[in-house]
Amino acid sequence: MSKEIVTFRDSNAAVLFKKTEKVEKFDRSLAILADKMGEIMEKADGLGLAAPQVNSKLAVCLVKNGKKIVVFCNPKILDYSSEKDIMEEGCLSFPDIFLQVPRARSISIEYKDLKGKKKKIEAEGIFARAIQHEVDHLSGIVFTNRAGNKLIF
């Protein structure tokens, strides 16, 4: 795993566009990965971070909920509200690019924690938006794919 965040301009950027692999082992190495991701995210002042952004193929992402960081392993969004908001989004892997992205206002998500315990939560607002953004990363979908306006370089 790289200590730096993979950006779309990097030679290893392909990792950002590939579907991740399901976490099978909930062991010390997974906890170390999550800790390092948390440090990287905090240092970059991010709201969330997905494993592909640190060159890992595992289905793991972190999202801030207030001051707490929630680790999602093998997350699956079960339900999206019909109400949507369009807000400006950025991404640590797309520095200095901000686009208007429509997202569901609230979601229901199922995932496993770092010990492999199955959990289900409801999320709304910016927390729900960030979860949707990070879960997209785990499927190889980046926010530019969801944007309402076109990206121009």
Amino acid at 4: E
As annotated, the active-site residues are 134
Residue 85: which of 101, 64, 108 has the closest Cα? 101
Structural tokens at position 82: 């019909």
CB atoms within 10 A of CB 77: 17
User: CA-CA distance, 50 to 128, in Å (whole number)?
Assistant: 15
Pick from 80, 91, 87, 82: which is nearest to 101 by CA?
87
